[in-house]
Structure 1
Amino acid sequence: MTKMMRAARMYECGKPMELENLPVPSIRPTEVLVRVKACGIVPNLHNILTNWTTWFPHLPLPKLPAIFGLDPTGVVEEVGEQVYDFKPGDRVYVNPARHCGSCRACRAGNTTGCSAYTFNGYFGFTARSPQMFEHYPYGGLCEYMPAPQYSLVKLPDNMSFETAARLGYLGTAYRALKKANVGPGSTVLINGISGTLGLGAVALALAMGARKILGTARNEALFQRVKDLAAPGRIEIHNLGNGSIAQWTKEVTHGEGVDVVIDALGPGATFEPLVDALRSLHRSGHLVNIGAVAGDVPLDLHWIMDNDINVSGSAWFTTGQGQEMADMVESGVLDLSFFEHNVFPLEQVNQAISGIENRNGGFSNYVIAP
């Protein structure tokens, strides 16, 4: 008898997902079958499901009906015959980043630069993404999903499935911080410090030894909670509506400026805070954009050149970097105990997606537990 599972599938953009019974998928030799325990629901998933084809038609969605779900965690149920380092019972996070393994970028070890780079259970980045979706049609909003062994992060016992379901947003911030060489002695400014991306950047910058963390946000009710994540004075926050970011930053740093700016403001934000924060950098500073401020951003390239400034984007993170974060949690260096888990059964997936805008900033963690 065919073993069945429950899955939430979307048939039309903007319409609720439908709960269905489907056969449990088979696995290829280099894959494992994961029994999903938790799957993170990202804050902009409702926008993805409702507006994506209008907002970003160049970034393909999977062919409908589709099983979405970006950040699955769970237990290995079965392993393929060519799987080397995982066994049934292992607790894992599944990195949704899929790469082909055969293009020039993949062969050079730059899997994020893959010509078919795709988020399993979410959206694609290239014209080859539809082919990747055909090969990996199962996102995390189901009870069982196949996963390539290259995508698996081993989770320590002191990291819950619910917390690990946040690794996607954490990893986005982590790769940006690593790209900017943040470490002991660094001063970091985070645009959108109290949001989902920004708060992860705070926790990771603290774990990486940043000397001083500055931030901008609008929700003053969360300012003190963010500051309380560190010793008094290590985190300072500026209200985005109260004057120039650059001027405030120079005052707080006694004219020095900052080493790094992490811009974590979302697509709905205007470009002005990013441009303002850019002027907070001292010579040879680095701004990394991870929030996807949309549209054309005016930059003074002559000033950037004269001051040896770096401006870059950073997309997602590698599985190896995911393992680094899990190891940091295991050792106690990375403290993620501030998350407030809001857990929904699979039957309430549409309720969870529609209610996520009421989250308590980056402290809220919305999770589906199939």
Structure 2
Amino acid sequence: MTAMLAARAHKGSDALHLHTIAVPDPGPQDVLVKVASAGLAPGMMTLLAQGAFRHLPTTLGHEAAGTVAAVGSEAAGVGVGTRVRVHPNLNCRACEYCRSDRDMMCPQQAMIGHAAFGDVPMPLYDRYHDGGLAEYIRVPHWLVDTLPDSVSFDVGAKIHDLANAIRALKRADLPLGATLVVTAATGTMGTATIKLARHFGVSRLILVGRSAERLDAVRPLSGDVHTDVVALDELPPNWAEEGGLTRALRALVPQGADAVLDFVPEGPATSQALAALATGGSLVHMGANRSPLPFPMSAVMVNCWRIVGTRACTRTDVREVITLLARGALGAEELITHRYPLAGANEAVAALQNRTEPIWMAVVNP
């Protein structure tokens, strides 16, 4: 096959464009993967609008899984026909961060099919910026992970998000038997966190979201972990100005929560959840919320709160997810609520952005 269908981004456009383009030729260190499933994330369109993509046009999609179709002469550890998922994080592999399980902090950190985050030369991103919303994707051989036969391609494509949740849970430094608040709990990262919480010794979850109906739908994902919900649409109308979320959380946990995993992209829910922490508690943020915190740092000092930012997973996190999936300790198939054909990529992105229907995880099947 010499040509393929791909969903491309163009300079000056906020939509995806379907094109027939050449199948990429793998170089000596490359692997060509026939894509069976590609994950979707609304953030890629936000970054596109912000100008974070260095190379346009480009094929979008940082999450992909499929079957190896060709292997370069110097590629090791994988053969044609192997089931794999693609690790999207590009980094130098040599700096202090890369050598200490913090590769998302590498100055050259970028993501296949996504964005570049620094202003230094990025030779890997220059070559591998095209992503997985296509029939084939070319990647360096060290960025594929073998997918167990028991793990579907759809779940394989979303391992990145599950690993992001593991990274956030690790950064919370939870005590055994922790009470954990999860904001934006009905989205991709929220549902991934709910599924993984019991593996980190969480004994109580408090899920925060906009809709009571949608929160009730995700509650069963917590299994046998005691779970409460706080729906923003059931708080007083002035909750955002008057601290209504903090009061609702404190009513459930008067002594305060041990940690908050915050995936809120905007608004006051972040700061109000922070104010519901116990002394010494941690807030881990992975929502890119631009709203400033409306209280002095002295409050952070007096309460000994930890505010931690984290933006992605590492290969260690990924391997832990794959191990849980392979052993049957984690089931994630139910998290895939929406599947679209490649020709429906724009429809899929629109659904993720407008949130008119509940979407936990969405994939495209070329």
CA distance in 1, matches of 2:274, 2:231: 17
Matching residue of 1:23:
22
Match of 1:150 in 2: 142
Deviates more, 1:76-85 or 1:193-202: 76-85
Q: 1:173·1:290 contact (CA, 8 Å) conserved in 2?
A: no
1:124 lines up with 2:124 in the alignment:
no
Q: Does 1:52 align with 2:50?
A: yes
Aligned match for 1:101, one of 93, 101, 108 = 93
Deviations along 1:255-305, whole A, 9 cap, x unmatched? 332111011111xx21x2111111222122110001111143334322222
TM-score normalised to the size of structure 1?
0.88
> 1:325 Cα shift?
0.9
Q: Does 1:35 find its partner at 2:27? A: no
Cα contact 1:196–1:361 (8 A) shared by 2: no
User: What residue is the counterpart of 2:298 in the other structure?
Assistant: 302
| Aligned with residue 176 of structure 1, among 145, 160, 168 | 168
Matched with 2:342 is 346
Distance apart, 1:233 and its partner CA: 7.0
- CA change 1:304–1:163 in 2 (3 A) is same
Match of 1:208 among 180, 185, 200: 200
1:73-114 Cα offsets, whole Å, 9 max, x none, are 111222334433222222211121110224443345531111
Asked if 1:282 corresponds to 2:281, the answer is no
Identity of aligned residues (%): 26
Contact kept? 1:62, 1:122, Cα under 8 Å: no
Indicate the residue corresponding to 1:62 in structure 2: 54
Report how far residue 210 of structure 1 moved. 1.1
Looking at structure 2, the residues matched to 9 and 109 of structure 1 have their Cα atoms a distance apart, in angstroms, of 32
Q: Which amino acid aligns with 1:303?
A: A
Q: Secondary structure at the match of 1:75?
A: strand
Q: Could you tell me how far 1:362 is from its partner in structure 2?
A: 4.2
Aligned counterparts of 2:146 and 2:263: Cα–Cα separation in 1: 27
Helix, strand or coil at the partner of 2:221: coil
Note the residue ranges of structure 2 that are not aligned, 5 or more in a row.
none
**Partner-residue secondary structure (3-state), 1:211:** strand
Question: Are 2:156 and 1:160 aligned?
Answer: no
Q: Distance in 2 between matches of 1:230 and 1:67?
A: 36
Q: Distance in 1 between matches of 2:44 and 2:129?
A: 18
1:284-339: CA deviation from partner (whole Å, max 9, x where unpaired) = 21100011111433343222223322101111101221121122122222222322
Residue in 1 that maps onto 2:81: 89
- For residues 158 and 307 of structure 2, the distance between their equivalents in structure 1, rounded to whole angstroms, comes to 26
Distance 1:43 1:140 in 2: 15
- The secondary structure found in structure 2 opposite 1:349 is helix
Is 1:326 aligned to 2:318, yes or no? no
Residue by residue, what CA displacement relative to the aligned partner does 1:161-200 show, whole Å, maximum 9, x if unpaired? Answer: 1122222332222211011134641211011111222111
For 1:256 and 1:308, the matched residues in 2 are separated by 14
Cα displacement (A) at 1:68: 0.9
Q: Distance in 1 between matches of 2:100 and 2:336?
A: 40
Amino acid aligned to 2:41 = V
Cα 1:70–1:233 shift into 2, 3 Å:
closer
Q: Give SS of 2:334's match.
A: coil
In structure 2, the residue matched to 1:252 is 252
Question: Aligned to 1:192, what secondary structure does the other structure show?
Answer: coil
Amino acid at match of 1:250: R
Unaligned runs of 5+ in 1: 54-59
SS class of match (1:89):
coil
**For residue 197 of structure 1, what is the aligned residue in structure 2?**
189
Q: May I ask how many residue pairs the two structures share in their alignment?
A: 357
Matching residue within 347, 358, 363 for 1:361: 358
Aligned partners of 2:14 and 2:45 also within 8 Å: no
CA pair 306-183 structure 1, distance change in 2 beyond 3 A: closer
Asked if the contact 2:101/2:316 (under 8 Å) is kept, the reply is no
Change (3 A) 1:231 1:37: closer
Q: What is the CA deviation profile of residues 139-169 of structure 1, one whole-angstrom value per residue up to 9, with x for unaligned ones?
A: 1112221222332232222221112222233
Mean alpha-carbon deviation: is it higher for 36-45 or for 335-344? 335-344
Task: Normalising by structure 2, report the TM-score.
Answer: 0.89
CA separation of 1:342 and 1:117: change in aligned 2, threshold 3 A:
same
CA separation in 2, counterparts of 1:286 and 1:209? Answer: 16
Q: Could you say if the C-alpha distance between residues 98 and 154 of structure 1 is closer, same or farther in structure 2, counting changes exceeding 3 Å? A: same
- One-letter amino acid of the structure 1 residue matched with residue 50 of structure 2: W
**Residues in 1 aligned to 2:310 and 2:2: alpha-carbon distance in whole angstroms:** 41
